[in-house]
Structure 1
Amino acid sequence: MVFEDHYGFSDSTSLTQVGNLTIEERVYKGTTIDLGSFDADVSLTLWYNGTPSGSQTPVVAEISFKYEDSNASYSRKVVNRAKTAFEAIQNLTTWTDPNSKTKTRFVYDYDTNFCD
């Protein structure tokens, strides 16, 4: 009932494949970054077009981290360490692609008629 209550669509509405794209997502968690007062949880997300085989390369790879303070009182030290961590990840040039796409951009670019 949550979807119906919030958006007015029946919870029993079936999903329809869009753009002939079927993504299988694998998310790997369990690593943290020390930000001082908080630890940030790190995730590696891999998207595969269909069910991945042993040698298949992901179509999208994304590393992200998140941290939360229920009081929203982030210190300058925490914010600066988060920025430093983000920039350090960006600078891993053998691991990152400066021309990469976000997951959302990948979906929109996959089929140019996606939103027609």
Structure 2
Amino acid sequence: MIYDEFRASEAGNRTDKEAPITEAARPPTYVDLSEARMVLAELGIQLTERQMKRAAETDAEGRRKLPFFIDPIDGRLKIARQALIDAYRKRQIAAMKNVRDNSPIQ
């Protein structure tokens, strides 16, 4: 109860510079290949394990389709959860900008 009162008083004393932590300010959450598949499934994108592995593989120039990296501690591929979501949103926005408007001129 004392903690709740302290938090309430601190919230009342907060200045604009001391805003609460937002999603953008939180440290990134890193997920592996299987967790990345689940994140995409939440967005309605169903991929097989093989498709996820292909997206994480490097091409002849050493680039990946998605920004996966090798975790220095356990040596497995990881990606920031938000980077994965942002990659799909960027493609969706680009596709929407390229749609031709076929509506008749009035």
The structure carrying a bigger helix percent of its residues is: 2
Aligning the two structures, in what range does the TM-score lie when normalised by the shorter sequence? under 0.3
The structure carrying a bigger strand percent of its residues is: 1
The TM-score with structure 2 as length reference comes to 0.24
Ranked by relative contact order (alpha carbons within 8 Å, sequence separation 6 or more), the top structure is 2
The TM-score with structure 1 as length reference comes to 0.22
